[in-house]
Amino acid sequence: MSSKPIAAITLNDRPGSLLLGTGLAFASLILVPAFATSIGLGPSLTGALRMALMKASNRVISAGGPRTSTPRASNER
């Protein structure tokens, strides 16, 4: 009987980025609408703030931190 190795999936090894991403998601789902209601922001602005926070949360959790762009060579346009 032959045994096949099972592929291991590594979880995010930076608990700080997971905590930050979770905090941003919580803020976008709970805190932003409550804050917007209390100061009288419109629904479109509230939605825009929620989307921005959810994108930031996804970026932090999936990449383990902020994404950086690679510099282009000087001869590329």
Between 29 and 70, the higher pLDDT residue: 29
Report yes or no on 6 lying in a domain. Answer: no
Distance from the Cα of residue 4 to its chain's centroid: 35
Report yes or no on 43 lying in a domain. Answer: yes
Residues 41-58 have pLDDT tens digits of 999 999 998 898 888 888
Average pLDDT over residues 25-33: 86
Report yes or no on 73 lying in a domain. Answer: no
Estimate the crossing angle of helix 15-26 against helix 43-63, to 10 degrees.
170
Report yes or no on 28 lying in a domain. Answer: yes
Report yes or no on 24 lying in a domain. Answer: yes
- pTM for the complete prediction? 0.56
* Residue 73 in this model has a pLDDT that exceeds 60: no
Q: Check residue 64 and report its DSSP letter.
A: S
Count of domains forming the chain: 1
Q: What is the 3-state secondary structure (H, E, C) of 5-46?
A: CCCCCCCCCCHHHHHHHHHHHHHHHHHHHHHHHHHCCCHHHH
Residues of the domain holding 36: 15-63
Report yes or no on 10 lying in a domain. Answer: no
